């Protein structure tokens, strides 16, 4: 028998009846700001931003995320990439969290994901912290008043940071847990104040649901030209590769900065806001994000500031290098009003290469694009996950393995078909190191990366000369306007050429070893054209 879907109706009614607790429904930004400050959750900053700290959890906790293994998920979920929790342990956890919640205040937000109405999914979020409700109100999409009156939640997320899990009672790893029950359409989050768990919980749900509807769910940002909405570019990449920064181009229209769907009709944003890294944020390099930092209701996470002037310190990473801000899309002057567009013309796979051997740009065939998409090579940015204090080379399938409930090859096949059908140009763009590895070389200047993207958008690389890279088997433009020619062949930028060759071969070996797990599940042409 299929488990019954969880309904918050009776639970919230029960909370409302408790004399010591209050449930606040769909408070708007000013009310949530007021509640957060009154409750000591944050400080009112310059311009009316809310300055908050997330405690010991300053990033996601991917090892504490679990999916209920039941009849529906047993043979469908990618268990090599996801932890499992039994239905019985999930029910015990659920029951104990609900008991803990009685007598406390909660903030309920009825929101939806997906700008395309055909794929819209209603989500009810029950948060213990007012600022978490404000955060997710920014990051998801708000129904209009008519839709809110008849709102029926398809999924529910309950977030209770004050509930500290006893691992042995529920078969989990630590006092923190993110538990997803697809059959009951319920997500439980406990033991962490990091608001990004709300956001990524929703993304995981969409990665489970949308492939069956013919939609490719993507961990990517997206923009298009101001004069033609069909000139669409997608930017894939893990946190710290420049996905948000590079897509927020004042000369283009921002569709969204992090999560999108690719349907037959085009691209649509899952979200209604942005969640940007703020370390070393510059008004020159990132003017749109910098401007949002002092707008009313922007949530500023884990940033140091002057206690008197409230001026933010963009260089002080003593709390975490993963300091961030969350704000609605309409804070960006050139953001899309609809969150939708036509199909993509260019796909950019962003990687942050700490080895310093990949070129700033390479052109990929559809098969090579699938190879690099499934590989998801980058360097984990400091602070994005707990314990990461310097860039670490890593492979994350589809540039978002922690959010994939299904096997990566499922998404890879949809990706390949859509690229081929749409005749999409595919590029690998390195925003990492040049002239040496991390600690010896230097980070590729953002102005040069922007010059590369400008050349892509304008079609300047369609007829330029390319060299074939014998090591990585892709084509590299020999000359890009505005980019140092020495950068186009990274070997030339190294003092010690033999050391470069060793580093390059080391990275190739890592690619090959990582891809072994996909060889039985992908088309042979993907391997034949790649490493």
Active site residues per annotation: 60, 200, 219, 239, 243-244, 258, 324
Q: Which positions ≥6 away from 168 have C-beta within 8 Å?
A: none
- Distance of alpha carbon 160 from alpha carbon 172, whole angstroms: 16
8 A C-beta contact, residue 451 and residue 483: yes
399 - beta bridge partners? none
* Listed residue (130, 50, 56, 37) closest to 312, CA to CA: 50
Half-sphere exposure for 482 (CA within 13 Å, toward CB): 15
Q: Which residue has the tokens 């998404």?
A: 411
- Distance of alpha carbon 514 from alpha carbon 512, whole angstroms: 5
301 - beta bridge partners? 52, 324
- Distance of alpha carbon 491 from alpha carbon 359, whole angstroms: 9
Q: Which tokens belong to 313?
A: 């310190």
Q: DSSP letter at 129?
A: S
3-state SS string for 358-405? CCCEEEECHHHHHHHHHHCEEEECCCCECCCCCCEEEECHHHCHHHCC
Across 199-341, the runs of DSSP E, i.e. the strands, are 216-225, 232-236, 252-256, 259-263, 266-269, 273-277, 299-301, 324-328, 340-341
Phi, psi (rounded to 5 degrees) for 314: -80, -10
Task: Say what the alpha-carbon torsion angle 102, 103, 104, 105 is, to the nearest 10 degrees.
Answer: 100
Task: Say what the alpha-carbon torsion angle 172, 174, 177, 181 is, to the nearest 10 degrees.
Answer: 0
- Distance of alpha carbon 434 from alpha carbon 70, whole angstroms: 48
Distances (CA, A) of 195 to 177, 357, 406, 489: 13, 35, 24, 41
Q: Which residue has the tokens 């990524």?
A: 200
Half-sphere exposure for 158 (CA within 13 Å, toward CB): 25
């Amino acid at each position: 028998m299929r488990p019954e879907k969880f309904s918050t109706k009776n639970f919230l009614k029960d909370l409302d009846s408790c004399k010591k607790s209050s449930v606040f429904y769909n408070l708007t930004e000013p009310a949530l700001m007021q509640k957060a400050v009154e409750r000591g959750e944050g400080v009112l900053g310059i311009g009316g931003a809310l300055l908050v700290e997330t405690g010991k959890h300053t990033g996601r906790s991917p090892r504490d995320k679990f999916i209920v293994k039941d009849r529906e998920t047993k043979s469908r979920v990618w268990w090599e990439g996801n932890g499992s929790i039994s239905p019985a342990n999930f029910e015990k956890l659920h029951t104990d969290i609900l008991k803990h919640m009685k007598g406390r205040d909660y903030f309920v937000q009825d929101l939806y994901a997906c700008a395309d109405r055909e794929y819209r999914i209603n989500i009810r979020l029950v948060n213990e912290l007012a600022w978490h409700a404000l955060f997710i109100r920014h990051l998801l999409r708000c129904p209009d008043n008519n839709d809110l009156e008849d709102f029926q939640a398809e999924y529910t997320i309950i977030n209770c940071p004050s509930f500290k899990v006893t691992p042995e009672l529920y078969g989990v790893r630590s006092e923190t847990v993110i538990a997803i029950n697809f059959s009951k359409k319920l997500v439980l989050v406990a033991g962490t104040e990091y608001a990004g768990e709300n956001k990524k919980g929703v993304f995981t749900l969409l990665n489970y649901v949308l492939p069956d509807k013919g939609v490719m769910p993507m961990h990517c940002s997206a923009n298009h030209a101001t004069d033609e909405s069909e000139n669409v570019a997608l930017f894939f990449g893990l946190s710290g590769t420049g996905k948000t920064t590079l897509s927020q181009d004042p000369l283009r229209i921002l569709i969204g900065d992090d999560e999108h769907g690719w349907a037959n009709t085009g691209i649509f944003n899952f979200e209604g806001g942005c969640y940007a890294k703020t370390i070393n944020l510059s008004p020159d390099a990132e003017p749109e994000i910098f401007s949002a930092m002092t707008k009313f209701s922007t949530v500023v996470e884990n940033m140091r500031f002057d206690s008197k002037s409230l001026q933010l310190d963009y260089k002080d990473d003593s709390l975490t290098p993963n300091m961030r801000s969350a704000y609605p899309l309409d804070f960006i002057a050139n953001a899309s009003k609809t969150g939708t567009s036509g199909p993509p013309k260019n796909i950019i796979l962003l990687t942050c290469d700490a080895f310093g051997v990949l070129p700033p740009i390479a052109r990929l065939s559809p098969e090579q694009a699938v190879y690099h998409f499934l590989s998801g090579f980058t360097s984990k940015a400091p602070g994005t996950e707990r314990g990461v204090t310097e860039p670490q080379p890593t492979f994350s399938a589809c540039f978002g393995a922690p959010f994939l409930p299904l096997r990566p090859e499922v998404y890879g096949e949809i990706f390949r078909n859509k690229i081929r059908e749409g005749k999409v140009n595919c590029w690998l763009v390195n925003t990492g190191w040049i002239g040496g590895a991390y600690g010896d070389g230097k980070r590729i200047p953002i102005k040069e990366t922007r010059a590369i993207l400008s050349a892509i958008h304008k079609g300047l690389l369609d007829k330029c000369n390319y060299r074939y890279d014998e090591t990585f088997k892709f084509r590299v433009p020999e000359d890009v306007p505005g980019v140092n020619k020495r950068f186009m062949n990274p070997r030339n930028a190294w003092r010690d050429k033999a050391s470069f060759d060793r580093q390059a071969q080391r990275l190739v070996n890592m690619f090959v070893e990582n891809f072994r797990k996909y060889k039985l599940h992908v088309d042979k042409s993907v391997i034949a054209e790649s490493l």
